[in-house]
Amino acid sequence: MTRGTDVTDFKLPYRTPKPEEFPETIRLTLQKETTGKNALRYGENPHQAGAIYRIEGSPLPALTNIRLAKESKKVMSATNYMDVTHAIAVLKFFSEPAVVVMKHTKPSGFAVQRSGEPLQAIYRKARDVDARSAYGCFAVFNREVDEATAAEVLTTFVEGVAAPAYTPQALALLDAKEKLRAVLFDNIERLPKWREERVEGQYDFKSMPTGRVLVQDPYLSKVRATSGIVIDPFVITKDGRKILIARDPTPQELSDLVAAWHVTIDVPSNAICIYNNGEVLVGTGQQERVGALEQALVKGFQKAMDREGIAYDPLDGAKERLLLKHNPFKGAVLASDGFIPFRDSVDLLGRCGFTAVIQPGGSERDAEVIQAANDHNMAMVFTGERCFNH
């Protein structure tokens, strides 16, 4: 049997208009959710009044049922709601115990259970992968928060915690912290996430300045550990050569790659997610793709130096990384929300110790990018789907 899957035409969707049959008029009825003692303090900034509304007819607000688990002198803020909802959009992909640490509506760290660690240890990894960003964070769990995990949360400054449940002991600990918000949500496992799910009539709305709204289909993925992914891509070049990835990912690499992709889906573009030992460091929201990768790597070295207590000059390219006892990228995998346009990014990853990459594919230079992966003995898998998020 011939090995390899032809991805030469993966660039075509970027050039092909997607037919749409959206109605000429969409009428929305919004039902106010933050009323009375649950009213927001303000919107995104103190001079902006704000409120949260449910979209009438959508099953998701009632399904998730986001609400306070304890009274607090500080009510939920607009960014608290956005933190919780964006974290849920990540956690819905994970059946194992997992934690997202959110800051300003973006993940600063993520961790999933490896080798049966308790929730407390998973949270610690998600927090400490970027401890500085985690200051004042919102920690969101997909499992019941127990007393040990609540105690760990209280060791640093945290704005709030969200979870499907709390043990009485955990809630008592959190309740003693007057300004901390404890939030409950339901049914994360029932949220749509795969392309084959039926979501007719559900739209994704993105508000734009000047009174306009982008209306699009909800983002649903096809990428799973067992399907929807090309692990052996090859490209036919213009001169007829076949450039095939030389190495398939190991089972662990494949699991890590898919996990990194699922985190990347809700990270603002250009997005880079670095996954190693069950934890994800997030690089987010850069205007240029090569710069997004470079900044994510610099960030990764800086956070590793923070953990090892190494002082560094942030204006000098973090040259002190050479003092690290452990390379934070050795054995790591990387997810990119868009295709990798040039081989220089892969060469950089190879120098840093990465072993595998997941990316959409579809670059004009996919052959060069695959060859670069081969030169560094890296696995590279293609999703055939992009996950830009703006």
Cross-strand pairs, 138: 102, 160
Are 304 and 251 in a shared domain?
A: yes
Task: Give the per-residue pLDDT at 346.
Answer: 97
- Give the chain's end-to-end CA distance (angstroms, integer): 42
Give me the mean pLDDT over the 44-68 stretch: 94
**375 pLDDT more than 60:** yes
* Pairwise CA distance, residues 222 & 239, whole Å: 32
Q: Are 230 and 245 in contact (CB under 8 A)?
A: no
Report d(CA 252, CA 246) in Å as an integer: 18
Residue 27 belongs to a domain:
no
- Check residue 1 and give its pLDDT: 46
What's residue 72's pLDDT? 63
C-alpha 35/C-alpha 259 separation (Å) is 37
Instruction: Count structural domains, the chain.
Output: 2
Q: Say how many CA atoms lie within 13 Å of 56 toward its Cβ.
A: 7
- For the chain, what is the mean pLDDT? 94
Query: Which of residues 189, 211, 244 is at a domain's end?
Result: 189
pLDDT at 52: 96
Lowest mean pLDDT among 23-27, 69-73, 180-184, 361-365: 69-73
Q: Are 205 and 223 in contact (CB under 8 A)?
A: no
pLDDT tens digit sequence for 255-264: 999 999 999 9
Which of 86-95, 288-297, 370-379 has the lowest average pLDDT?
288-297
With respect to residue 20, please indicate whether it lies within any of the assigned structural domains: no
Does one domain contain both 232 and 185?
no
Q: Are 376 and 245 within one domain?
A: yes
Dihedral, CA of residue 217, residue 218, residue 223 and residue 226, to nearest 10: -100
> Within this chain, do residues 129 and 237 fall inside the same structural domain, yes or no?
no
Residue-range definition of the domain harbouring residue 350? 5-15+221-382
- Average confidence (pLDDT) over 352-366: 96
CATH number for the domain spanning 331: value is 3.40.140.20
For residue range 106-125, what is the model confidence (pLDDT) as tens digits? 999 999 999 899 999 999 99
Q: Which of 345, 354, 348, 359 is nearest to 377 (CA)?
A: 354
- Which tens digit of pLDDT belongs to each residue from 187-219? 999 999 999 998 887 899 999 999 999 999 999
Query: Which band of pLDDT confidence, cut at 50, 70 and 90, is reported for residue 71?
Result: low
Confidence of residue 38 (pLDDT cuts 50, 70, 90): confident
pTM: 0.95
Please state, in angstroms and rounded to a whole number, the distance separating the CA atoms of residues 80 and 102. Answer: 9
Quick check: bond before 270 cis, omega within 30? yes
- Plot region of 184 (φ>0 → left; ψ -120 to 50 → alpha; else → beta): beta
